[in-house]
Amino acid sequence: MSIAKYIDHTLLKVDAGQPAIERLCREAIELGTFSVCVNPYWVPFANQALENSSVKVCTVVGFPLGATFDSTVLVETEQAISRGAREIDMVMNIGAFKSGDYDKVLSRMKLVTDMAHNLGDITVKVIVESATLTDDEKRMAASLVVKSGADYLKTSTGFVSNPDLLGDVRLFVDALPQGFPIKAAGGIRDYQVAKALLDLGVARIGASSTAKIVEEEAATVQVR
């Protein structure tokens, strides 16, 4: 299976306009990615652009800080799903987590997850922004994600640099129940890193450099 099938082809830049989103969707179809990941505003457009393909629409809520009201995140979730999103990547309330308000953090995760699952066959990924957490906090965040009923733990929004993504993934593989899905994201720009993450057991990759990753995969296969 091509590595593209593990990738959420992502464009979350603040200045991304319609031509860029259109190109993203076209590339996703051509490359055969699992999904495109776009900001909520672009969900209807992406849903239409991908109408006759197998590529799903993924979006983000509470993005990128998680520092908003539960009601806001729930509205974002409901509106995104009603407009065609089939995957929701929600940001954990990192400030509340850092304050030790774990019940509030878990409550939001559960609210979003329950709403999404009740609205259909929707996948929920919780972004924990691992580069901002200590190792003990990463383990705690992982336990909350599992308790919430969410489908995936996602490492990063991509807005915070993480010099040790592979190390974080190793920790999460250890901390989570065996086989619990992990989405790795943030600075994955080449095939070597993407392949290393899959070898660690990652189930999904968020990347904007998808074409480069796929090209490098093809070159590697040819060399062999």
Per annotation, catalytic residue among 56, 125, 138, 154: 154
Cα–Cα distance, 172 to 170 (Å, whole number) = 6
Active site residue 154: yes
- How many C-beta atoms lie closer than 10 Å to residue 17's C-beta? 9
Per annotation, catalytic residue among 89, 125, 138, 168: 89
DSSP 13: -
Instruction: Give the Cα-Cα-Cα angle 56, 85, 17 (nearest 5 degrees).
Output: 85
- How many C-beta atoms lie closer than 10 Å to residue 200's C-beta? 14
Handedness of CA 206, 211, 212, 213 (dihedral sign): positive
Question: Considering only CA atoms, which of 73, 69, 47 is closest in space to residue 60?
Answer: 73
Active site residue 190: no
Structure tokens at 119: 């609205």
Active site residue 5: no
- Residues that are catalytic: 89, 154, 183
